[in-house]
């Protein structure tokens, strides 16, 4: 009987230690490495994103977007190249400013990082440089599994009001710190969106999610999958990240 009790206590202690294998400080350091490994520091980045949105009311829609990023200067440009009706629309981000361009009226207007990207389930904040360590702090962490991957499951709380979702739960692989899954919650704790990142690419030592799935948790069946292709790290002309380029490309 004594043996059983000791055995049970050992199991319990192992279990408890398993729940909090790393401290909050360590978890926050992991978040910082996520940013470092996802940001293309010192180089420009471009790629084509294919976005497929599903909605029970509107069916399936496909969009193609040319993405240009210069993370060091916190700039990005996303230009719609498909479908024909949206060709030339663009999101230009320079520092704190994000503009949307409508080629039909040839006008720019400020928009928010929290808004939906081109009517998909992605948000404008899902693109551009990563600042998860600045925007969130870890409030709880435990170890677990997601599919066949060992992960840290972290509860994050926003550190400022600019974040798209006030609280987020993320699943990060414990061996190479890749975010596999994210659950995004409203201020009232309601699950708004689930994001899944089942495929990554190592691009010159940086990790890039090449497949993303965003599920709207408020509307059943509403989902967007994004595939990233045509990746390049070639230096881009400075003129790309200007309003004038967006206007000229639409002439």
Partner 1 sequence: MNGLIFKIAYRNLKEHKTKTLIIGTLMALAIMILVVGNSFMETAASGIEKTYIQNFTGDLVIAAKSMENVSLFMDGSMTNKEELTPIIPSSRKIISYLDSLDEVIAVNPQIGGAALMKHGEDGTGFVMLFGVDPGMYQETFRDNLELTSGTFLKTGEEGVVLSVAAVRMIKDSSGETVKPGDSVLLTGINSITGTKIREVTVRGTFKFVNESPQLEMISFIDLDNIRIINGMLAYTEVAANLSANEEALLGDVDEDSLFGSGDTGLFEGDLLADISVSEETGISQYNDSDYLNILGDTSERGKYSQTDPDAWHYLVVKLDDSVNEKKFIRNLNDWFNENGIDAKASGWLAGAGVIARMSNTLAVVFNFLVLIVAVVAVIIIMNTLVISVNERIGEIGTMRAIGAEKAFIRSMITLETIMISVIFGIIGAAAGMIITKIIGSIGYEAPNTFFQVILGGPVLYPVISVKAVVLSLVTVAFVGVAASLYPVAIALKISPVKAMGEN
Query: Phi and psi for 210 in degrees, rounded to 5?
Result: -100, -10
Q: Minimum CB separation from partner 1 for residue 128, in Å?
A: 18
- Which of 40, 136, 185, 245 forms a contact with partner 1 (CB under 8 A)? 245
Residues 103-122 that bind partner 1 (CB under 8 A): 103-105, 107-109, 111, 115-116, 118-119
- Which of 15, 42, 59, 95 forms a contact with partner 1 (CB under 8 A)? 59
Q: What is the DSSP letter of 72?
A: G
Residue 99 CA: distances (Å) to CA of 13, 37, 96, 102, 128: 53, 27, 10, 10, 14
Structure tokens at 115: 């808004």
Give the count of residues interacting with partner 1 (CB under 8 A): 74
Site for partner 1 contains 219 (CB under 8 A): yes
- Which of 40, 76, 100, 165 forms a contact with partner 1 (CB under 8 A)? 100
Stretch of 9-17, 18-26, 136-144, 208-216 lying at the interface with partner 1 (CB under 8 A): 208-216
Residue 92 CA: distances (Å) to CA of 67, 88, 119, 242: 10, 12, 16, 8
Site for partner 1 contains 159 (CB under 8 A): no
Site for partner 1 contains 174 (CB under 8 A): no
DSSP letters for 115-127 = SBSTTSSSBGGGS
């Amino acid at each position: 009987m004594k043996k059983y009790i000791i055995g049970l206590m050992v199991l319990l202690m192992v279990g408890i230690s398993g729940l909090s294998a790393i401290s909050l400080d360590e978890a926050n350091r992991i978040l910082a490495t996520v940013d470092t490994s996802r940001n293309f520091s010192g180089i420009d980045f471009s790629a084509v994103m294919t976005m497929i949105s599903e909605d029970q009311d509107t069916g399936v829609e496909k969009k193609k977007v040319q993405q240009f990023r210069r993370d060091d200067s916190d700039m990005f440009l996303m230009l719609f190249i498909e479908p024909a009706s949206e060709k030339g629309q663009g999101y230009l981000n320079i520092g704190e400013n994000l503009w949307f361009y409508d080629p039909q009226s040839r006008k720019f207007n400020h928009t928010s990082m929290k808004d939906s990207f081109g009517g998909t389930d992605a948000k404008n904040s899902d693109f551009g440089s990563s600042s998860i360590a600045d925007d969130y702090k870890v409030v709880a962490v435990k170890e677990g599994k997601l599919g066949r991957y060992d992960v840290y499951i972290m509860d994050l709380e926003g550190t400022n009001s600019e974040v798209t979702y006030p609280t987020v739960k993320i699943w990060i692989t414990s061996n190479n710190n890749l975010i596999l899954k994210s659950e995004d919650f409203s201020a009232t704790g309601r699950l708004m969106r689930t994001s899944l990142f089942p495929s990554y690419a190592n691009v010159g030592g940086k990790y890039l999610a090449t497949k993303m799935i965003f599920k709207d948790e408020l509307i059943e069946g509403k989902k967007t999958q994004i595939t990233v292709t045509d990746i390049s790290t070639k230096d881009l002309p400075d003129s790309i990240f200007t309003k004038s380029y967006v206007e000229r490309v639409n002439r």
